[in-house]
Copies of this chain bind each other. A is one copy, B any other.
C-alpha cells in the first residue's frame, strides 16, 4: 500500500480526491487537512463519504511524511510551501495552477504577479496523461490541469497531433461551465437565486486557462470565451478552428480514433441517431472520461471540435489520480472505474 495525504481537503477538488482515494485499492489515505473545518469529520463537509471514513480534517502544520502528497488548495498557496511539502513526500501532485506553466514570464503575464518559487516551475510535468504519459510515469512532481484548458486541449488534440489544423487562422473556443467551477467559497454571483437559470458569458477574453492551451498545443491565436450555465458539474468546450485545405471527414475520423485508441479515458461520440449523438457533460458526472466529437463544414474548412468532461474528475481530481497511477506503475484506470449515470 502507498501512503497518501491531501493538503486542502475541504474544497470541491479535495472532496473528489477524498472519494477517489478512499475507494482506491492500492493506497492508504493518511491525512486530509483543512483550516476552516479543522477537527470536523470529513463526512460533515462531504456528506457522500458518511459511513466510508471516520477521518477528521487535520491541521496543515501537523502533516506527516507520506509516499504521495496531493495539494488541493486554492491557487497561489502551494508555491509558498513547496520546499516543505517536498521534504515530506517524494512524489507531489498539485491540483492548483501554481506549477502548470513552465515559464516564469508566462506565469507573471497570466497571473499578474511573479511566481514565488520560479525555480520549481521546471521540475513539474504538466499533468495531462493524454499529452505527457511517459514523462508523468517517471516524474516526481506533477502539476494539475485547468478544467477549461483540459476540455480545450482534448477537443483539439486529435487535430494538432495529426497536423490537420490551419494554424494561420484564429482558434475560438466557447466554453460552457457549471457552478462547481467557482469552488466551495463562491461569490455573490454564485448564490442560487442569481446563478440558477443563467446563460452568462462572464469572460469574453483573457481566462487564465488560455495559457495552458497555448503552452500545451503550441497554437498562437487562441481565445477562450466562458459562459456559465445552469449545471453543477461539467464543462463543454466547443472549439472553432479551420482545417488545412484538403482535409476531409475520413482524415478526421482517423485522427480521432487514433487518440481514442491510445487513451483509455478518451471516447469519440458522433452518432447518427438517438438522443446522445454528441459529447455531453450531463452523463459524465463522476466519470473520468473525456468525450470528443467534431463536425466539419467541408465548404469552408470550418471545424467544430467538441470535448465534454466532468470538471472535478477529468478536469481535476480524476486526472490527478490517473497521474498517480502512472507514477506508481499501476494500471492507469485503477480507482477510476465509475461509468457515470444515465439519466441524471
Q: Which residues of A contact B (CB under 8 A)?
A: 12, 15-16, 19, 22-23, 40, 44-52, 170, 172, 174, 176, 178-180, 182, 184, 186, 188-202, 204-205, 221, 223, 225, 227, 229-234, 236, 238, 240, 267, 269, 271, 273-287, 289, 291, 293, 295, 297, 300, 302, 304, 306, 308, 337-344
Shortest C-beta distance, A241 to chain B (Å), equals 10
A184 pairs with B176, CB closer than 8 A: no
Rounded to whole angstroms, the CA-CA distance of A40 and B281 in the bound complex is 23
B204 pairs with A47, CB closer than 8 A: no
Give the residues in chain B near A240, CB-CB below 8 Å: 172, 225, 240
Give the residues in chain B near A196, CB-CB below 8 Å: 179, 192, 196, 230, 232
Rounded to whole angstroms, the CA-CA distance of A337 and B337 in the bound complex is 11
Shortest beta-carbon contacts, A-B, top 7? A204-B295, A192-B195, A47-B276, A204-B304, A48-B340, A179-B192, A193-B343
- Copies of this chain, count: 4
Give the residues in chain B near A233, CB-CB below 8 Å: 341, 343-344
Instruction: Tell whether A278 pairs with B201 under 8 Å between CB atoms, given A192-B190, A193-B182, A341-B285.
Output: yes
Give the residues in chain B near A198, CB-CB below 8 Å: 280, 282
What residue in chain B is nearest A339 (Cβ atoms)? B48
Cβ 8 A contact of A338, one of B170, B179, B189, B338: B338
Rounded to whole angstroms, the CA-CA distance of A283 and B285 in the bound complex is 12
Cβ 8 A contact of A49, one of B49, B297, B339: B339
Rounded to whole angstroms, the CA-CA distance of A342 and B200 in the bound complex is 15
A343 pairs with B232, CB closer than 8 A: yes
